[in-house]
Amino acid sequence: MSTANPHQLHVYFLPMMAPGHTIPMIDIARQFARNGAKATIISTPLNASHFSQTIERDRKIGLEISISLIEFPCQEAGLPEGCENLSSITTPEMVRNFCRAMDLLQEPVEKLLRENHPDAIVAGLFFWWANDLAQKFNIPRLQFYGTGFFPMCLYHTLKEHKPHENVESECEEFVMPGLPDEVKLTRRQLSEETKDEDKSPFAEILRKIAASQSTSLGIIVNSFYELEPAYARHYREVIGRKAWHVGPVSLFNKSNVDKTHRGLEHLSSDDNCLSWLNSKKPNSVVYVCFGSMATFSAAQLLEIAKGLESSGQEFVWVVREKAKDKGKVNWLPDGFESRIQGRGLIINGWAPQVLILEHEAVGGFVTHCGWNSILEGVTAGVPMVTWPLSAEQFLNEKLVTEILKTGTPVGAQEWTRRTDDQKETITGDDIEKAVVKLMVGEEGERMRIRARELGDMAKRAVEKGGSSDADLKSLMEEIRNYHP
Ligand code: UDP
């Protein structure tokens, strides 16, 4: 703790090495610093290069925030050099090695805690061992899983009641018991791990993560109460875990420079895209992006291109796949680029998503339903076409389409680990229909009105005295008063 101010909290943040986990945790660390705490982010050299300029800008305006670097043990864990992030993983074998590498971080993190005596550690999903360290040093460990109350409640129900074991086929719907709303799922929408934890190659680590929940102080959630009140209450009162909702954390980025560089800061640029959007009418453009991890087969990319073209709508489409033949894109229909000139923009790489979504020209979002994207779409007040692929995205889709009623499904039915060899192909027709429904006509307009209301609530939640601002302050108070 600082000697100048004996009551200043010092909190360590250990984000899991995947953009969808690191990005919101950096936002949270910066908000702790803005609220007077000293924040230290533990990261590895390559991962830190994605946000170090942002932290430097904070330091220049006087915030007490810094990065503490540790080496990522690629070699020891059997990973290729430079493979420090889940987004560069390509095989199940690499996932196992990545988990091993994250386990090996325990020792260097322990050393940091021993030397610096922080008041708390906020650690990401896979760092189950952070609880043991926290206990050793008599400080609280806070979890951060990067998802919302609704999916966490659904996961809990699946684990406790196993409703998916009472159906006869992968396609038969089952009702999730004991939840505030009637939610139906199929086995096809669940990962192998969720269906049968024991058969999973991650069974051991999943058990350790589950066990670590009971010894942590609680969980920090990137959500706001008004978005999912029944599930925020269910999580705390029925499941009985402590939680603080502090989001939407993307709103902690106020300046354009922060918004532009959020995520992979050195890859982001807003120049072309924003001036293109400036030339468009309000609500006329659909933004299409599938997060930081998903990649598609050439056949699926072709269908997306066909669907966007035949929808007749203007679009910004973010594609992670690199052009294959010497700069020539081989996953677009012949003549596509010249036909969509002026009507569509393809971003091949990293897009400034928050800036794009909040641009008044953007009137809809085709999303893979990653939790951050859902929340960023909600915050911007845009309705969505939901196209879940993996992780908990099929659960998030239910929240958007059935509870919030601000989205329409594209029709994806099957959970898939590797999206580039997915079994299911969504056709250009499916995409066209969903995009037209969203952007044109009464139903889309009704969704847009509801989405705007939620967007306003989101902004109020993080303002002074709002529900998320209050929860963040009460969390800081709880850390201050912590007695093991
Ligand atoms: N993102 C971005 N630009 C991109 C792709 C993703 O800024 O081109 C950000 C997006 O705003 C979000 C995060 O990366 O904050 C992705 O997280 P999400 O939970 O939506 O999906 P994941 O990448 O974990 O599947």
Give the pLDDT confidence of 197-217 residue by residue, as tens digits: 777 767 788 888 888 888 899
Two tokens, residue 213: 């929940």
Q: Is residue 108 part of a domain?
A: yes
Nearest to 39 by CA among 50, 51, 31: 31
Cis upstream peptide for 180 (omega within 30°): no
With CA atoms as reference, report the closest residue to 426 among 346, 306, 261, 310: 306
- CA distance linking residue 470 with residue 468, whole number of Å: 5
Query: What pLDDT score does 277 carry?
Result: 96
Same domain, 246 and 359: no
Least confident of 118-132, 202-216, 294-308, 322-336: 322-336
> Token pair of 304, please?
């997306």
Pocket of ligand 1, candidates 372, 376, 394, 415: which has the most ligand atoms within 8 Å of its Cβ, to mutate? Answer: 372
Residues 337-365 have pLDDT tens digits of 999 999 999 998 899 999 999 999 999 99
Q: pLDDT class for 441, splitting at 50, 70, 90?
A: confident
Residue 20 CA, ligand 1 centroid: distance in Å = 6
369 in the same domain as 223:
no
pLDDT band at 267, cuts 50/70/90? low
Question: Tokens standing for 437?
Answer: 């429904």
Whether 47 shows a pLDDT value over 80: the answer reads: yes
- Cα(114) to centroid(ligand 1), Å: 34
- How many whole angstroms separate alpha carbon 425 and alpha carbon 245? 36
Tokens of 134: 């926290």
- Give me the sign of the Cα torsion angle 474, 143, 292, 302: negative
Average of per-residue pLDDT across 371-385 = 98
pLDDT of residue 422: 62
Residues 189 and 69 in one domain: yes
Please check whether residue 349 lies inside any domain of the structure: yes
pLDDT at residue number 3: 47
> Per-residue pLDDT averaged across 89-113, rounded?
93
53 with 201, same domain? yes
Contact 190, 241 (CB under 8 A): no
- Supply the pLDDT for residue 425: 86
Residue 464 has φ and ψ, to the nearest 5°, of -55, 125
Looking at the fold, whether 392 and 450 belong to one and the same domain comes out as yes
Single out the residue of 267, 272, 257 nearest to residue 350, CA to CA.
267
Query: Looking at per-residue confidence, does 320 or 446 come out higher?
Result: 446
In whole angstroms, what is the distance from residue 318 CA to residue 40 CA? 32
HEC string of 337-394 equals: HHHCCCCEEEEECCCCHHHHHCCCCEEEEEECCCHHHHHHHHHHCCCEEECCCCCCHH
Residue 408 lies in a domain: yes
SS3 content of the chain, % helix, strand, coil (to 5): 50, 15, 40
* Model confidence band, residue 187 (pLDDT cutoffs 50, 70, 90): very high
Which amino acid, residue 8?
A: Q
- Kindly state the tokens that stand for 346: 């393809």
CA of 388 to the centre of ligand 1 (A): 14
Do 113 and 46 lie in one domain? The reply is yes
In degrees and rounded to multiples of 5, residue 185 shows phi and psi of -135, 170
Smallest CA separation from ligand 1 atom 7, residue? 353
R_g of the chain, CA atoms, integer Å = 22
Q: What was the pLDDT predicted at 192?
A: 86
Cα(374) to centroid(ligand 1), Å? 10
Taking only the tens place, the pLDDT of each residue in 114-157 is 999 999 999 998 899 999 999 999 999 999 999 999 999 999 99
The full 3-state SS of 178-215, as one line of letters, equals CCCCCCEECHHHCCHHHHCHHHCCCHHHHHHHHHHHHH
Helix (H) or strand (E) holding 245: strand 243-245
* Together in a domain, 426 and 468: no
HSE, side-chain direction, 13 A CA sphere, residue 360 = 5
Q: What is the largest CA-CA distance in the chain?
A: 66
Q: Are 108 and 202 in the same domain?
A: yes
User: Quick one: 405 and 473 in the same domain?
Assistant: no
Give the nearest ligand 1 atom to 373 CA. 20
pLDDT above 90 for 269? no
Better pLDDT: 206 or 221: 221
Which is more confident, 95 or 285? 285
What residues does 41 pair with on adjacent strands? 13, 67
Say if 5 falls within a structural domain.
no
Q: Mean per-residue pLDDT for 414-421? A: 74
Buried b (16+ CB within 10 A) or exposed e, 262-276: bbbbeebebeebbeb
Total domains present in the chain: 2
pLDDT digits (tens, 9 = 90+) for 4-42: 555 799 999 999 999 999 999 999 999 999 999 999 999
Q: What pLDDT sits at residue 418?
A: 63
pLDDT of residue 420: 57
Query: For position 207, what pLDDT does the model report?
Result: 86
The answer to the question of residue 105 being in a domain is yes
Instruction: Please state whether beta strands 141-144 and 243-245 pair in parallel, antiparallel, or not at all (unpaired).
Output: unpaired
C-alpha 104 chain-centroid distance: 25
What pLDDT sits at residue 1?
45
Q: Whose CA is nearest to atom 15 of ligand 1?
A: 372
pLDDT for the residue numbered 403: 98
Nearest CA to ligand 1 atom 18: 370
The range of the structural domain enclosing residue 454 comes to 270-459
In a domain, 264, yes or no: no
Q: Does residue 140 have a cis bond before it (omega within 30 degrees)? A: no
For ligand 1, which residues put their CB under 6 angstroms from it? 19-20, 23, 263, 289, 291-293, 318, 350-351, 353-354, 370-373, 376
Average pLDDT across the chain, whole number: 93
Q: Is 185 exposed, middle or buried (0-12, 13-18, 19+ CB in 10 A)?
A: buried
Lowest-pLDDT choice from 70-84, 102-116, 271-285, 413-427: 413-427
Q: Is 57 part of any domain? A: yes
**Residue type for position 180:** P
Q: What is the identity of the amino acid at 257?
A: V
User: Does one domain contain both 473 and 431?
Assistant: no
Q: Yes or no: say if 270 and 262 are a contact pair by the CB < 8 Å rule.
A: no
Structure-token pair, residue 160: 């406790």
Q: Which atom of ligand 1 is nearest to the CA of 23?
A: 15
Q: Give yes or no for residue 330 having a pLDDT over 70.
A: yes
Least confident among 137-146, 239-248, 316-325, 463-472: 316-325
| Closest C-alpha to 128, from 106, 156, 107, 112 | 106
**Residue 297, both tokens:** 């087969």
Domain of residue 195, CATH code: 3.40.50.2000
Residue 92, in any domain of the structure = yes
Question: Is the same domain home to 474 and 451?
Answer: no
Mutational pocket test of ligand 1: of 27, 221, 353, 393, the residue with most ligand atoms within 8 Å of the beta carbon: 353
Length, in residues, of the chain? 484
Containing 68, the helix (H) or strand (E) segment is strand 65-69
Q: What is the pLDDT, as a whole number, of residue 373?
A: 98
Do residue 393 and residue 244 come from a single domain? no
